[in-house]
Structure 1
Amino acid sequence: MAKTLISDVIVPEVFNPYVINRTMELSALYQSGIIATNDELQVLASGGGRTLNMPFWNDLDGDDEVLSDTVALTPDKIDAGQDVAVKLLRGKAWAANDLAGDLAGSDPMAAIGNRAADYWTRRMQAATIATLGGVFSSASMANNQIDFTEGGTNTEAKADGKTIIEGSQLLGDAQGGLTAIVVHSRVYSNLKILRLLEYKVDPATNTEFATFDGKRVIVDDGVPVSGGQYTSYLFGPGALGYADGTPSDVQTETDRDKLAGDDILINRKHFILHPRGIAFTSAQVAGKSPSNAELATGSNWNRVYDRKQIRIVKMITNG
């Protein structure tokens, strides 16, 4: 009897965009607006090079002058800065024994695509958490984070309405731009116990999600936890820039190990996942692209935007 192979059901030109789109549909970070893309990032992601330079103009500053009919105004200048993003070059291969059950489905390519999309959603979330770890290990981001466990009692240091609002205050008059918060499940449960959460339904996915003070609450146990201290992150829309690139190798391939009887699917992904306004310095990167451990290294990051323009705040609480 003929056997259905992965190569029989995978059509790369259909599979690739399906996986990309489905990954975004499944990503709570993308659905919340924390991650956003634009045409400029997409063009950069598809170009050559490992890092991508994104120049920008700084805001105008300095005092105004009193007009005079005898003294001319003194011209000032506008300064430029440069943000730098890095491409993440990743790949994964799966053998047929992991996918065999999907081949019985009515649409096997979609079934396999959903599995791949679920996988990349989790890996993008892991890269995001690693990036945030590195960003907030940089001395340049010291004023965008607050540790409630320093000098406070255990009760005072727990996440509640007061701590979240105090964390938002780090951005001063720009705090209204914060629209989401990522927390550990322990922190989420504490907020539930305090009855501080309201629930809404996402029209795009028809799934329920929690909010606090109008901010979408995303639960991820990948956020840092150490000695009973929990890290949470507040975000504004588009705090992270995202774009898919085009791998120089084939993005999706199938293969078969005839001796072992293994059917193989290979998926490669190039993408940008960049905290806007915090330049990647490449100070400690061993390979062609940073690993998650290198993304989590503080010396690889340096803030280049004004502090209030960075739409990310870190908080540490005792749950």
Structure 2
Amino acid sequence: MPATRIADVIVPEVFNPYLIQRTAELSALVQSGIVVPDSQLDELAATGGTILNMPFWNDLTGDSEILSDTTPLSVNHIVAAKDMSRLHTRGKAWGANDLAKALSGDDPLRAIADLVAAWWNRDRQKMLFSTLKGVFATPSMAGNKHDISGAAGSAAVISATTTVDAQQKLGDAADKLTAFSMHSAVYSKLLKDQLIEWQKDPVTGAAFAAYLGKRVLVDDGHPNAAGVYTTYLFGPGAIGFGNGAAPVPTETDRDSLQGDDILVNRQHFILHPRGVKWTEDSVTGVSPTNAELETPDNWERVYENKNIRIVQFVHKIA
């Protein structure tokens, strides 16, 4: 009996939507509400082009005027502005040897999809950290950054007090922050300080770690060097996500001479921090690399600081 081939279990029309669903299900950032799939971004990502315009209206400004029977009210205007995101076009190919374990499962399609979805999940988290590095290196984002790493003693260390100071970067909009994303060493420090509690998700009933009443996500991809760590505070929908339409998202192949089955998966998508415009100032290829995402010249804040639901908190743990 011939061996099962990838082409025997992968039907692209079935695999592609299933892969999208599983990637979202496996993403802690999606489950926490930090990264929000957006149907409007889906449409933008499928329209063609690499720079995608997202116009918005600035808030109304000024003070009320005293009514008079001789002096008319002055006419003010609402001003439009434009956020811009970048379409990412990326792909990956795997040989059958890498997926051999998956093919032995009871449901090969699910097993393969889980492996591929988990890989894309990890890869997008790396992209997000690179994006945040570039975004917070821009001078315009100073209002959303709280760096205490250069202070003396305990003033440089994350604690309930210093974290409240970080939240305060958004002023009266601080209640928009609902989650922390941190390195495992930071999480361990807060555990030792007995500042981590457990709460239940009201929808799923699943327990999750919380710090100062906010959900905690742990990922060792967070920047850390010489004892200095970067923690992020997020609000819901801080990162917008849209699935595009790669012309051939999934295909399989067979290298008969090598005896290898090959699975190719391509993704077109938007992964964008809302309110910080992509400028395309320094990109050499058809899609930005992670290093180019980290380049501050490629980003420019267009929302008011307190309307950007992200705060970067740079600190020590001892």
Q: TM-score scaled to structure 1, two decimals? A: 0.97
How many positions carry a matched residue from both structures?
317
User: Is residue 288 of structure 1 aligned with residue 286 of structure 2?
Assistant: yes
- Structure 1 distance, partners of 2:179, 2:26, is 17
What's the offset of the Cα at 1:150? 2.0
**In structure 1, what is the equivalent of residue 259 of structure 2?**
261
User: Which amino acid counterpart does residue 56 of structure 1 have in structure 2?
Assistant: F
**In structure 1, what is the equivalent of residue 218 of structure 2?**
219
- TM alignment of 1:1-319, pairs within 5 A: 1-153=1-153, 155-202=154-201, 208-248=207-247, 250-319=248-317
- Match of 1:61, SS state, is coil
- Structure 2 distance, partners of 1:204, 1:78, is 39
- Structure 2 distance, partners of 1:206, 1:265, is 37
- Match of 1:170, SS state, is helix
| Structure 2: segments with no counterpart, 5+ residues | none
Q: Deviations over 1:248-302 (max 9, x none)?
A: 2x10000011001111000001111100000000001111111111111111000
- Structure 1 distance, partners of 2:202, 2:67, is 55
- Structure 1 distance, partners of 2:66, 2:205, is 58
- Structure 2 distance, partners of 1:255, 1:202, is 43
Give the conservation status (yes or no) of the 8 Å contact 2:40–2:242: no
What's the offset of the Cα at 1:2? 1.1
Percent sequence identity over aligned pairs: 53
- Structure 2 distance, partners of 1:21, 1:205, is 17
What's the offset of the Cα at 1:24? 0.6
After TM superposition, the runs of 4+ consecutive aligned structure 1 residues lying more than 6 A away are: 203-206
What's the offset of the Cα at 1:206? 6.6
User: Which amino acid counterpart does residue 295 of structure 1 have in structure 2?
Assistant: L
- Match of 1:123, SS state, is helix
- Structure 2 distance, partners of 1:146, 1:196, is 20
What's the offset of the Cα at 1:221? 0.9
| Structure 1: segments with no counterpart, 5+ residues | none
- Structure 1 distance, partners of 2:116, 2:202, is 24
- Match of 1:73, SS state, is coil
Worse-superposed segment, 90-99 or 192-201: 192-201
Q: TM-score scaled to structure 2, two decimals? A: 0.97
- Match of 1:237, SS state, is coil
What's the offset of the Cα at 1:39? 2.3
What's the offset of the Cα at 1:151? 2.8
Give the conservation status (yes or no) of the 8 Å contact 2:238–2:274: yes
Worse-superposed segment, 30-39 or 304-313: 30-39
